[in-house]
A and B are shown apart, each in its own frame.
Chain A
Amino acid sequence: MALDKQILERLAGVVGKDYCSDADFIVQPYAKSLDSVSGRRAPAAVVIPQSTEEVSGIVKIANEFKVPILPRGSGADLTMGAKPTKDGVILLDLNKRMNKIVNIDIDHGVATVEAGVQWGQLITALLAQGYYTGQLGPANSATTIGGGIANASVGGGGETMFAGPGRLVTSLEVVLPTGEIIHTGSAANKNGKPWFGGRFLGGPDLTGMFIGDPGVLGIKTKVSLQIFPMPQFWKCKTYLVPGDNRKGLEGEKIDLLKDIRVAVEICKDWEKIGNPGIHSIAYFNFGCFNSMAGAEYYEPWTRVLEPGEINQNGALAMIMCAASQEALDANLKMVDEVCEKHGCKVFGDAIEEGNYAEWLLWKTGNWSYAHWFWGGAAGPGAAFNIMDVQWDGLVDGLEADFKVYEDRLIDYQDSNMPLPAIILSPVGGGVKLVSGCPTRDEIPELPQAEKMRFDLRMEDARCILDQGGMPIWTGPLYSQFMVEKGYYEESYFKFFKSIKDTLDPNGILSPGKFHFND
């Protein structure tokens, strides 16, 4: 749907005509989200603002003409959120010009960045001063900080020590859906500024209201994050977790979740001793290794197994850090003892000996969800679910999930989704769970194939939602499913909607990114 030329001229007046276009060749590349289930829909126009004031100007024009707008970071949304959910939308690309690191304030333990700064970009700048954001990686270092905060996720997984980017935010600068600009946390004081401990001051935690919103309550234009000195002593270790390696002959029932159950017990035991020095943990089941780890890892991994024997073991990859070598060694001893108790094999320290954790950290530069898995998945997108679930819901959820996989094996295979991959990243009392299948789709995205993938993905999600799990990204994908299937408490949903209606009376901001059923 073409945009009124008058609106385009007004937008050009705000950002300049070089940064505003409705040409087909400009808008079509913005038609995809990262997922492989939602097809493509191009915005009516794309604008690339350079400042908070320009964002505010765009929002005011959108309200004047009642035209929907969609802010987006680097466009790597797994839940259909990086592309419009309806026609006629103006897309704001915040990654290209609002990508400056505003300030790294070592004294006050905080870094302030424009929302379009990428995680890797900030971490690189911080490391130069011996600091970091408390995350290793993140999973996709190319994603923007604004996007990560809006989805409460990016960089997620494996952050045992710091538990996700949302907790690290101290203050936000937000353009509200009506165009006003506000600052939260300690920066709400006219004389104040963001600082490490400043988030919960002066009133309710309005910073938190915009974390995981997902971009429907305001456009984050600047983010202030806590920063930490980079620990000097590190250790990466990888443990092979025992699984059920019976052959399954003559109808013998195999427990495909045995290794996961053991991994859960190990992680719970580590939690009980306070996760001593553990920075990050990620568990990868055998499905991950078999299908996606790549020759470099699969070969040494198989070498430590019994030759000729069936292997259905997964591996725990763990990163520790400490302020001294003595502390590191002492913590490592405690951690190792737990693994020994549960019968794990330990991979050698070298990458060549199968130390997956070492490789993830130092060679790929991506940790936790192992962004490079997407390389294994490839194709036009990934059909993963990423959800947090508490310990006592995890195994039941996965049992249901594996049952679905067994029942619908043909559908999975027809959709080029050959086997279930599971990644677990403990976050305290539970895990961030990646489940589902990679899609190796080398053919055009046929609508029926997308629908099948959508169904399978939601079926997979249902198994975890039924056990009390929640997605870390809501987006059009999960929010619609959860609202329509009645997962949200009714009063919560009404409360959220009333906030949205109050802040965005014209309903112009990110329509459909959360399914308000209107």
Chain B
Amino acid sequence: MRKQKKKLYRTKFHNVEDMDPRSYEWCMQCGSCLNDHRLLAGIQGACPIFNHGKQFEVYMPRGRMQAIRAILEGRLEPSQEFVNSVYMCTTCNVCTEICHATHTDTQSWPITRVNDRANTFENLRADLMELGFSHLDGHRILLRSLMDYDNPWGQPRRAKANWARRTGVGGKNLGKRNDHIDVLLFHGCTAPLDQSLQGVTLDTGLLLDKAGVNWGFLGEREICCGSISMRTGEQGIFKGLVKRNVELFNDLYDNYGMRTIVTSCAGCFKTLFQDYTEFAEYDGEVGTIKAEILHTTQFVKRLLEQGKLQFGNGFHLKATYHDPCHLGRHCHLYETPRELLQSLPGVEFQEMFRNRKYSLCCGCGGGLKSGYPDIAQSIGIERVEEAEGTGAQYIVTTCPFCEQNIRDAIKGKSSKIKVVDLVQLMALSTGARTGEVPAIGEKSAELPQEPYGAC
């Protein structure tokens, strides 16, 4: 969402053209973003579409970059087929990390953000939607729900507080009225509304209780962060959500003492932390969030350092860590989750070969799971196979959206490996919760089994 107000071509593709020209001009065509292998540097493959999607260049980042140039230079008229190709992308951003024009080892972080391929593709999607092209069927359903219910999963607003009704948590439900709190738990849409993932939200709350934090949640009043609208090119919807959320958060900041927003969703974190800030820089009509925004792993690390939480209960399990793209490549948060996971007693940690900035996407992001579910599943299975290769019993991650797709891939492959959120392990180890190590997607005695949400 890094934009500026100058244009080179003056086409109707203003969202792309509003970006720094380097973000759509800088592609030499070296091909590393399609498929590259540099074992010594930890690179084994690049764009997940190369092995799982259609195989013409336009379906991959380099070809898409060339298509953008062709459009801007008048050599290509966009078509619905082209639009469909633009959506065959997880926006995982491995193309940006591997790109030699954005090399993070030689260039600094701001340059990487300028040349953010995923962001370029999101702006391309926005332009195409403004020109009247159609969304993929799966996206239409999610976006309709987003407009009707403020969540993409077709569930009523009140369902967002269901997770808190099941087990007593100490957080204040701000759904009816505001109250004084220090920390707002932004639970997002996916975890509270997907039955199999509610444990992630619940355990986050229990961790905050355990640490004695004065916290609250918005429940039925919480509005989607807008990630899905941003990723699928509906920037008008996104702007509306940004304005409403910023107003809500800043009211809590100004009048009720809220200073920190914590979320366990990597997608919400990236959107609130990065997209909101950059959107506000570009668009004067929206403000910035005054409170600090942290992923739960960052906040738990702080609580551990302050002595408000201690890991005590041990496990006997072997685990590997999957980097969510929104947390890792997009926000460069690689080490904190690893440090926490490895400091849990009794966890034997084994890294997958593709990790950190070169990790393989789970296949879920960028609207791929709703737009091209078969491809998302296929990519997810590749990631599960890689995790199996480490000998791990658990894939630990920090994003409910990744957990959905990995859960489905595990089922699709009939794998014995399990997926769990790091928050759930930390809740057990700190004694915030008791019981067995949970596994997302498997039946649990602790939560009543009801039909899944929209997933």
Contacts and interface: CB of A to CB of B under 8 A. Distances in A.
Interface of A: 18-19, 21, 23-26, 28-34, 36, 40, 42, 46, 48, 74-76, 82, 93, 95-97, 99, 118, 120-121, 123-124, 127, 140-143, 292-297, 361-366, 371-372, 374-382, 441-444
Nearest to B56: A26
Contacts of A374: 28, 30, 100-101
A414 B322 CA distance: 47
Contact of A363 (B22, B73, B105): B105
Interface stretch (B34-42, B133-141, B279-287, B300-308): B34-42
B9 interface: yes
B39 A123 contact: yes
B394 to A, nearest CB: 26
A34 B44 CA distance: 23
Given A28-B67, A29-B57, A142 B79 contact: no
Interface in B82-110: 82, 85, 99-103, 105-108
Contacts of B147: none
Given A371-B30, A379-B26, A142 B35 contact: yes
A134 to B, nearest CB: 15
28 contacts: A24-B79, A25-B58, A25-B67, A25-B78, A30-B57, A40-B70, A74-B31, A82-B29, A93-B55, A95-B35, A96-B56, A118-B37, A121-B35, A123-B39, A127-B39, A143-B31, A293-B106, A294-B106, A363-B105, A365-B39, A365-B41, A375-B101, A375-B106, A375-B107, A380-B28, A442-B22, A442-B25, A444-B25
Contact of A296 (B38, B63, B70, B106): B106
B298 interface: no
Given A363-B105, A365-B40, A444-B9, A74 B28 contact: no
Nearest to A441: B25
A380 B55 contact: no
B357 interface: no
Contacts of A75: 29, 31, 57, 62
A296 B104 CA distance: 10
Contact of B38 (A33, A295, A366): A366
Interface string B3-17: 000001100000000
A20 to B, nearest CB: 10
Per CB-CB distance, the 4 closest pairs between chain A and chain B, nearest first, are A365-B38, A294-B106, A365-B41, A120-B37
A23 B99 CA distance: 27
Nearest to B44: A124
Given A28-B66, A364-B38, A378 B32 contact: no
B133 to A, nearest CB: 12
A29 B35 contact: no
Contacts of B42: 365
A34 B73 contact: no
Nearest to A297: B106
Contact of B102 (A361, A375, A441): A375
Interface centre among A76, A93, A120, A371 (most CB of B within 10 A): A120
A380 B25 contact: yes
B25 A29 contact: no
Nearest to A377: B28
A381 to B, nearest CB: 5
B66 A32 contact: yes
Given A29-B62, A34-B29, A76-B29, A375 B36 contact: no
Nearest to A128: B39
B329 interface: no
Interface string B403-446: 00000000000000000000000000000000000000000000
A378 B28 contact: yes
B57 A142 contact: no
Contact of B75 (A42, A293, A377): A42
Given A24-B76, A29-B62, A375-B102, 9 more contacts: A25-B58, A28-B66, A40-B69, A76-B31, A120-B38, A293-B106, A374-B101, A375-B107, A378-B100
A295 B108 contact: yes
Nearest to B80: A25
Contacts of A379: 25-26, 28
Contacts of A442: 21-22, 25-26
Interface centre among B21, B40, B63, B79 (most CB of A within 10 A): B40
B36 A120 contact: yes
B173 to A, nearest CB: 49
Contacts of A372: 100, 103, 105-106
Contacts of B8: 443-444
Interface in B39-70: 39-44, 50, 54-58, 62-64, 66-67, 69-70
B368 interface: no
Nearest to A367: B40
B298 to A, nearest CB: 26
Contacts of A24: 76-77, 79
A96 B55 contact: yes
Q: How large is the interface on B (under 10, 10 to 19, 20 to 34, 35 or more residues)?
A: 35 or more
A338 B26 CA distance: 42
B57 A378 contact: no
Interface of B: 8-9, 21-22, 25-32, 34-44, 50, 54-58, 62-64, 66-67, 69-70, 72-73, 75-79, 81-82, 85, 99-103, 105-108
Contact of B55 (A97, A118, A364): A97
A29 B82 CA distance: 11
Interface centre among B25, B30, B67, B73 (most CB of A within 10 A): B30
Nearest to B99: A375
Contacts of A123: 37, 39
A378 B30 contact: no
B358 to A, nearest CB: 10
B107 A382 contact: no
Contacts of B82: 25
A140 B35 contact: no
B237 to A, nearest CB: 26
A70 to B, nearest CB: 14
Contacts of B62: 29, 75
A341 B69 CA distance: 53
A96 B58 CA distance: 12
A342 to B, nearest CB: 29
A31 B108 contact: no
A25 B59 CA distance: 10
B21 A443 contact: yes
Nearest to B29: A34
B29 A33 contact: yes
Nearest to A366: B38
Contacts of A443: 8, 21, 25
Nearest to A127: B39
Contact of B41 (A33, A48, A294, A364): A364
B37 A375 contact: no
Contacts of A30: 57, 63, 66
Contacts of B55: 19, 48, 93, 96-97
Contacts of B39: 120, 123-124, 127, 365
Contacts of B63: 29-30
A31 B66 contact: yes
A124 B37 contact: yes
Contacts of A375: 99-103, 106-107
A371 B100 contact: yes
A382 B31 CA distance: 14
Contacts of B30: 34, 76, 140, 142, 371, 374
A491 to B, nearest CB: 37
B22 A378 contact: yes
A366 B43 CA distance: 11
Contacts of B40: 361-362, 365
B64 to A, nearest CB: 7
A34 B105 CA distance: 23
B297 to A, nearest CB: 27
B28 to A, nearest CB: 5
B103 to A, nearest CB: 4
A197 B431 CA distance: 67
Contact of B37 (A74, A141, A377, A444): A141
